């Protein structure tokens, strides 16, 4: 069991007093709610904006604006032995920004600067930069770049990347597109990785490796430092572009669909990660009144939509059981050839259907996403949206939530299908719907079982999550990321050679953060022997 964190009121007061002298009392919250904006469930808290549970409540919050302030705050945390958990509240900053703009007010409390290089296709970003901010700045400057954004575009680019999040352009594998970091270490030392280890090196955001050991990976899903800047590579706007939807009719067609798509990615014919939806997700997001009226009676707590009904809808609508979404990027001359080679044949998958939207473009002219593409089901051209948030209100009441169980699975389709059948049954037995959000890469699949729930179903939801974790462990699959409450459980599955990985990381933690002040327990990493 992890140690219990306990701090005296006197210790907290002394820490907050010194921090207030540094950054001002207005930037210090001495409890878990002061200074926080109203959350999605009308609660005022720095806790989970999408939960009514009072677990993991904070003792307070401090809001530094500069790297130097971060350095000084972490030194004060060591002095007073106060434990910090770094976070960026994308929902709250997005909400504040939109609310103030609607009212004609000024800037958010801190609008970070964004350095963008169009010629080389990169940006250098602080944690406060949202995907929406990056996109809007590219549009404001009229740059020919398509930034990668996740399904919900409100989040922090830095936060998403460090948690190995992903988007939908050819640079959508964010951890691989990251190049160069600036990090405040647990003792307050400022470090730059890769080429940034040399002062004023011009390739900091261009060449990731640098000289000597590569350090960037130590700060992913990590409590070994606070990342204050990252470089991110951005896809140049193409001359020609097409979105592709591929429907396959049978549940078992998931196997050839995934196998074909991953092969096309390995051969660099498809450049961005295809995402795959199942029939429940297709029906739920169809916006067709005749479909929604049929599934509507089952969209409520303690219920799930029957698969015989979904199959009847699929036949009536001539949809596939599975639908893959991806896009094609290239020159005008390339596009027709890419279309001819980028989809499964009817011989490989009988009954396969295709749907294209094409922008043929002009030689030498880049497509402008905001003007030419405008809207997409999936943001393959880098236009951020927050519309998918509406799904949390579709289970019979407003103010619901969602959780993702997300194992990493080999890309043949065979292993994914076996896992899916078991997870689908677990999910249905728990009276939830299996909302598939599978992401295909050249050599792996992130298989997301996205579960929508009402607040009254949280306890049953977490029982399901524990079962899915257990099953994946038995199949020797691990999640690519998880919620705070499950980090120790996921870390406990990393058992190779008597848990050598965890022991090594704990040695790093003990060495560089001996007081254990930074994000204790993040990814299951705790300092040794610390009675917190």
Q: What angle do CA 220, 517, 60 make, to 5 degrees?
A: 100
Q: What is the pTM of this model?
A: 0.92
Rounded Cα distance, 263 and 153, in Å: 29
pLDDT at position 532 = 41
For the stretch 168-179, pLDDT in tens is 999 999 999 999
pLDDT at position 386 = 87
| Cα separations in angstroms, 116 against 122, 135, 144, 194, 230 | 6, 11, 11, 19, 12
CA-CA-CA-CA dihedral for 280, 265, 375, 165, to nearest 10:
80
Confidence at 387, pLDDT banded by 50, 70, 90: confident
pLDDT at position 91 = 45
Rounded Cα distance, 106 and 480, in Å: 39
The 10 Å Cβ neighbour count of residue 528 is: 11
Confidence at 150, pLDDT banded by 50, 70, 90: very high
H or E stretch at 102? helix 90-102
> If you average pLDDT over residues 203-207, what whole number do you get?
97
* Of residues 250, 218, 471, 243, the one with CA closest to residue 447: 471
pLDDT at position 219 = 97
Rounded Cα distance, 279 and 527, in Å: 46
Burial environment of residue 478 by CB neighbours within 10 A (0 to 12, 13 to 18, 19 or more):
middle
The 10 Å Cβ neighbour count of residue 29 is: 19
pLDDT at position 102 = 45
- Enter the tokens of residue 175: 């951890």
* Of residues 268, 282, 236, the one with CA closest to residue 378: 282
> If you average pLDDT over residues 503-512, what whole number do you get?
97
Rounded Cα distance, 313 and 298, in Å: 14
pLDDT at position 103 = 37
For the stretch 271-292, pLDDT in tens is 999 999 999 999 999 989 999 9
pLDDT over threshold 70, residue 38: no
Confidence at 2, pLDDT banded by 50, 70, 90: very low
pLDDT at position 519 = 95
| Cα separations in angstroms, 23 against 73, 95, 518 | 9, 24, 19
pLDDT over threshold 60, residue 65: yes
pLDDT over threshold 60, residue 97: no
Percent of the chain with pLDDT over 90: 78
| pLDDT top residue among 52 and 308 | 308
Instruction: Please state the length of the chain.
Output: 532
Beta strands in 253-352 (DSSP E): 275-278, 322-330
Confidence at 530, pLDDT banded by 50, 70, 90: low
Confidence at 390, pLDDT banded by 50, 70, 90: confident
The mean of the pLDDT values for the chain is 90
pLDDT over threshold 60, residue 328: yes
> If you average pLDDT over residues 47-60, what whole number do you get?
70
For the stretch 211-254, pLDDT in tens is 999 999 999 999 999 999 999 999 999 999 999 999 999 999 99
Rounded Cα distance, 282 and 92, in Å: 30
What is the separation, in whole angstroms, between the first and last Cα of the chain?
12
The 10 Å Cβ neighbour count of residue 529 is: 8
Beta strand pairing call for 178-184 and 408-409 = unpaired
| Cα separations in angstroms, 176 against 99, 171, 179, 373 | 34, 8, 8, 26
Rounded Cα distance, 66 and 530, in Å: 30
pLDDT over threshold 60, residue 433: yes
Beta strands in 410-475 (DSSP E): 435-440, 445-453
Structural Rg of the chain based on CA atoms: 24
For the stretch 342-362, pLDDT in tens is 877 777 888 999 999 999 989
Confidence at 531, pLDDT banded by 50, 70, 90: very low
| pLDDT top residue among 40 and 434 | 434
pLDDT over threshold 60, residue 381: yes
pLDDT at position 527 = 94
pLDDT at position 474 = 95
pLDDT at position 101 = 45
pLDDT over threshold 60, residue 270: yes
Rounded Cα distance, 23 and 56, in Å: 25
For the stretch 113-135, pLDDT in tens is 799 999 999 999 999 899 999 99
């Amino acid at each position: 069991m992890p140690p219990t964190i306990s701090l005296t009121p006197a210790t907290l007061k002394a820490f907050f007093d010194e921090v207030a002298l540094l950054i001002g009392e207005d930037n210090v919250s001495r409890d878990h709610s002061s200074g926080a904006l109203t959350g999605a469930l009308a609660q005022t808290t720095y806790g989970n904006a999408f939960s009514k549970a009072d677990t993991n409540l904070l003792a307070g919050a401090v809001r530094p604006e500069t790297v130097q302030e971060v350095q000084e705050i972490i030194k004060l945390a060591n002095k007073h032995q106060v434990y910090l958990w770094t976070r960026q509240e994308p929902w709250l900053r997005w909400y504040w920004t939109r609310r103030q703009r609607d009212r004609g007010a000024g800037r958010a409390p801190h609008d970070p600067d964004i350095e963008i290089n169009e010629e080389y296709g990169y940006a250098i970003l602080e944690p406060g930069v949202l995907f929406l901010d990056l996109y809007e700045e590219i549009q404001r400057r009229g740059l020919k770049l398509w930034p990668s954004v996740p399904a919900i575009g409100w989040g922090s680019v830095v936060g998403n990347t460090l948690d190995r999040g992903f988007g939908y352009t050819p640079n959508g594998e964010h951890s691989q597109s990251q190049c160069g970091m600036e990090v405040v270490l647990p003792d307050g030392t400022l470090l730059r990785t890769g080429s940034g280890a040399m002062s004023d090196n011009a390739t900091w955001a261009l060449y990731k490796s640098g000289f000597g050991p590569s350090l960037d990976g130590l700060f992913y899903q990590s409590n070994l430092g606070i990342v204050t800047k990252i470089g991110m590579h951005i896809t140049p706007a193409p001359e020609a572009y097409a979105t592709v939807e591929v429907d396959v009719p049978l549940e078992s067609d998931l196997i050839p669909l995934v196998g074909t798509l991953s092969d096309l990615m390995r051969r660099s014919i498809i450049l961005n990660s295809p995402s795959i939806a199942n029939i429940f997700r297709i029906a739920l997001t169809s916006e067709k009144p005749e479909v929604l009226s049929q599934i509507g009676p089952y969209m409520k707590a303690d219920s799930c939509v029957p698969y015989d009904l979904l199959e009847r809808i699929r036949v009536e609508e001539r949809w596939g059981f599975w639908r893959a979404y991806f896009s094609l990027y290239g020159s005008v001359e390339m596009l027709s050839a890419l279309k001819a080679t980028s989809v499964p044949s009817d011989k490989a998958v009988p009954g396969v259907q295709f749907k294209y939207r094409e922008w043929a473009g002009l030689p030498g002219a880049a497509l402008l996403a905001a003007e030419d593409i405008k809207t997409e089901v999936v943001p393959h051209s880098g236009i951020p949206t927050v519309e998918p948030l509406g799904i949390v209100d579709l289970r019979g009441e407003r103010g619901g939530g969602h959780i993702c169980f997300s194992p990493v699975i080999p890309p043949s389709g065979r292993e994914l299908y076996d896992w899916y059948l078991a997870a689908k049954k677990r999910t249905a037995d728990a009276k939830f719907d299996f909302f598939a959000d599978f992401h295909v890469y050249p050599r792996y699949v992130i298989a997301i079982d996205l579960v929508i729930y009402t607040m009254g179903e949280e306890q049953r939801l977490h029982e399901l999550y524990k079962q899915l974790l257990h099953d994946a462990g038995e199949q020797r699959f691990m999640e690519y990321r998880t919620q705070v409450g499950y980090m120790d459980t996921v870390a406990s599955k990393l058992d190779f050679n008597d848990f050598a990985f965890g022991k090594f990381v704990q040695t790093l933690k003990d060495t560089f953060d001996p007081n254990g002040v930074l994000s204790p327990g993040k990814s299951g990493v705790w300092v040794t022997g610390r009675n917190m």
